[in-house]
Structure 1
């Protein structure tokens, strides 16, 4: 029976907006997780509010401009009215919204944590499958390298990961892993079990020698 391990990548904050503040020397704004709505007759404007990291000056990023109120679902309108933080994060991470506003964000400002179950060499040895499968759960895209996630979750060095890549032992959606690959929600990673055991054993032996 095939076992699929889950790697969950959780962002701790939204990306900072790269923008010069008109009130101070700051060039970064943070998402406030709040919306501004302005209704005029049957039309409505909606913005996501950002604040300068230094002086708290406000910047409004346009989400909807002069759209008919009936074109927004009741569920979405309620979330906007109640400043739903989950919805604010969706817009703050949205490449499409940044494109519409000609805005740039600092993706390196996103802090994250990776939740995973450690897999011992012994556990790998008792697995019948030729390939070990891992699934990425990462609802927000912030250009995190796949290699970083793999090294963290499998606890292997960059050199050992390179060995796996060069021996064509890692696949993402049945295509060979490229070093430049960035993670996407739902990515399926398959790694050759025997090759993984080999590098893990070598890694452990080296660690023991160092000790």
Structure 2
């Protein structure tokens, strides 16, 4: 048995594209959340529209090229026609879409917030379960390190996180946490309760001694 929590990562914007503008000195384009559709007989071209962050010059990133209209589901086609923002974000975050367009994203430009409930030390101390379990909900991937999320949600310093890693106390999908691990939707983080409690207790003890 284990106590289970959920950490939700909300992105505030889509990643900028690293692209040199032909009309100014800018090297970044932002997603407009709008699509352009151009039908020719039975074929259709569909692009996701980007704008230069400085002069607003347009760049069209290909979503579909010369595709039969019947090859697109009615639901998706309606969402494309209606400039559905959620769908635009899916393509803007899509590695595959960028790969097909030979485009590079500035993933550091993505701002985010983490929604989580703080876990009081008293709750950890009183817990009888061996493991604490945290499920990650993050619909978009943007190279966010899982170690950053763990530090934020558990209010840990870098040294404390390193101690937990060295103590082999943190697991992701039953494997020991690697610092380079990037957040993926559905990641399950499990932390050994006693090892976490020991490290947090040492930190509190140190703070008390420092105050005295």
TM-score by length of 1: 0.97
TM-score by length of 2: 0.97
Distance (Å, rounded) in 1 between the aligned partners of 2:157 and 2:85: 37
- The alignment yields a C-alpha RMSD, in angstroms, of 1.1
Match of residue 146 from structure 1: 146
CA shift for structure 1 position 3: 2.5
Match of residue 54 from structure 2: 54
Distance (Å, rounded) in 2 between the aligned partners of 1:91 and 1:206: 49
CA shift for structure 1 position 188: 0.4
Distance (Å, rounded) in 2 between the aligned partners of 1:165 and 1:58: 46
Match of residue 119 from structure 1: 119
1:24-63 to structure 2, matched below 5 A, reads 24-63=24-63
Match of residue 182 from structure 1: 182
CA shift for structure 1 position 139: 0.3
CA shift for structure 1 position 179: 1.0
CA shift for structure 1 position 67: 0.3
Say if 1:76 and 1:156 are closer, same or farther in 2 by CA, change over 3 A.
same
Distance (Å, rounded) in 1 between the aligned partners of 2:208 and 2:70: 66
CA shift for structure 1 position 125: 1.6
How many residue pairs match? The answer is: 211
Q: What secondary structure does 1:3 align onto?
A: strand
Q: What secondary structure does 2:194 align onto?
A: helix
Distance (Å, rounded) in 2 between the aligned partners of 1:207 and 1:26: 48
Unaligned runs of 5+ in 2: none
Unaligned runs of 5+ in 1: none
Q: Return 1-10 or 146-155, whichever deviates more.
A: 1-10
Q: Is residue 2:23 matched to residue 1:23?
A: yes
Contact 2:39/2:45, CA 8 A, preserved across alignment: yes
Deviations 1:62-115 (A, max 9, x none): 000000001111100110011000000000000000110010010000000001
Say if 1:208 and 1:54 are closer, same or farther in 2 by CA, change over 3 A.
farther
CA shift for structure 1 position 198: 1.4
Say if 1:206 and 1:12 are closer, same or farther in 2 by CA, change over 3 A.
farther
Match of residue 90 from structure 1: 90
Contact 2:37/2:45, CA 8 A, preserved across alignment: yes
Distance (Å, rounded) in 1 between the aligned partners of 2:210 and 2:78: 58
